[in-house]
Amino acid sequence: MVAVVETRALTKLYGRHVAVQDIDLQVHRGSVFGLIGPNGAGKTTVLRMLVDIIRPTSGELTVLGDSPRRAGAGIRRRIGYLPGDVTLTDRLSGRTLLHHIAQLSGTVAERKIDQLAERLELDMTRPVRELSKGNKQKLGLIQAFMHEPELLILDEPTSGLDPLMQREFLTMVREASRAGQTVVLSSHILSEIQHAADDVAVLAQGTVVAHGDVASLRLTSVARLGAVIADVDATTLHTRMHELEQLEDLDIQATGDEHVHRLTATIRGDIDPVIKALATFRIRDLTVEEPDLEESIIDLYTRTEQVQ
């Protein structure tokens, strides 16, 4: 499978400050690749290096089969880029500005700009400087998508959009992927990545702390356990459950019946020993809840900070 974007040990330093360090990524043609991380994790730095706005201190980087530094303007016409800070102050109308940009970005199909504006409910006649943050974001999205580039690089693309427009944006991303375009997007909105991306890299403090599809990231995290256990005395139950190293935040509460107890805990790691231990008791009720992606990422951040 062809790698549209590939980085090896990609590192960017600002003096002694490490912005990103040893980033290894592969983004395949036609896929949607998500970068998740809090502010300051290094997402924007990585994306700016992909479009040669800033250059790496060390490491290797190829985009569409070439070095962004060597490829120059030619490669930029094959990319649709949305920066994380869309700052537009032009007196021109949105339509006029986009037609000017189209002369630089490459061929734009007839009515493509208007079609995108209709989908995003953007008034193209108003001066750009009078637009709200959300409408400027829509304008930025249109300029990124309008020439149907091979590669879309989108930094926090739904910033300022209302929920309906966020949903429309995700539909546009899925359509681009089905058409063979490749999409790299960053976000701290985890549900956005969860519904859009095929592969995910989780950044924390400038390094990748996890990489894989959304499902695999969930499996590496925690689960919530709840159980009602009958016909057992409190001492026996406490002793057995505290032997399980997979359980955290264990809480065992008596109910109205002294031989019935309600148990809650967090399972970290292999769930099999926990289920086998519980199977030695009489279970009246049992729930194991899979964490959502947000819980998984928070858990990964926490573990990374503890290691450092």
How far is 121 from 143, CA to CA, in rounded Å? 15
Q: Are strands 260-268 and 222-230 parallel, antiparallel or unpaired?
A: antiparallel
DSSP-based three-state secondary structure for 4: strand
Helix 133-145, helix 112-119: angle, nearest 10: 140
- The pLDDT of residue 308 is 57
Given this model, what pLDDT does residue 133 score? Answer: 92
In this prediction, residue 164 has a pLDDT band, given cuts at 50, 70 and 90, of very high
Domains along the chain with CATH numbers:
3-218 (3.40.50.300), 222-290 (3.30.70.120)
Torsions phi, psi for 38 (to 5 deg): -75, 170
Which residues is 226 bridged to in the sheet?
Answer: 264, 287
CB neighbours of residue 104 within 10 Å: 11
Q: Each residue of 124-157: pLDDT tens digit?
A: 999 999 999 999 999 999 999 999 999 999 999 9
3-state secondary structure 98-159: HHHHHHHHCCCCCCHHHHHHHHCCCCCCCEHHHCCHHHHHHHHHHHHHCCCCCEEEEECCCC
pLDDT tens per residue across span 54-98? 999 999 999 999 999 888 778 888 999 999 888 877 788 999 999
Is the pLDDT at 12 greater than 80, yes or no? yes
Element at 96 (helix H, strand E)? helix 94-105
Q: Which own/partner pairs from 122-128 qualify as long-range (CB within 8 Å, at least 24 positions apart)?
A: 122/94, 123/94, 124/93, 124/94, 124/95, 124/98, 125/93, 125/94, 125/95, 126/93, 126/94, 127/90, 127/91, 127/92, 127/93, 128/88, 128/89, 128/90, 128/91, 128/92, 128/93, 128/94, 128/97
CA gyration radius for the chain?
24
Looking at residue 71, what is its pLDDT?
Answer: 84
Cβ proximity of 227 and 70 under 8 Å: no
The conformation of residue 291, written as its DSSP 8-state character, comes to P
Per residue in 195-230, pLDDT tens? 889 999 999 889 998 888 877 776 566 788 999 999
Among 173-187, 243-257, 291-305, which stretch is predicted with the lowest mean pLDDT?
291-305
The answer, yes or no, to whether residue 289 has pLDDT greater than 90, is no
**13 vs 86, more confident:** 13
- Any idea which residue has 């970005």 for tokens? 105
Looking at residue 250, what is its pLDDT?
A: 94
Which whole number is the average pLDDT over 109-113? 90
Please write the tens of the pLDDT for every residue from 173-202.
999 999 999 999 998 877 778 888 999 999
Q: Grade residue 37 by pLDDT with cuts at 50, 70 and 90.
A: confident
Whether residue 294 has pLDDT greater than 70: no
Asked if 59 and 11 count as a contact pair (C-beta separation under 8 A), the reply is yes
Alpha helices by DSSP H, listed for 33-72, are 43-50, 68-71
Cα 37 to Cα 58: distance, rounded to the nearest angstrom:
22
Residue 20 — very low, low, confident or very high, per pLDDT cuts 50/70/90? very high
Q: Cβ(208)–Cβ(24) under 8 Å?
A: yes
What mean pLDDT do residues 233-251 have? 93
pLDDT surpasses 70 at 1 = no
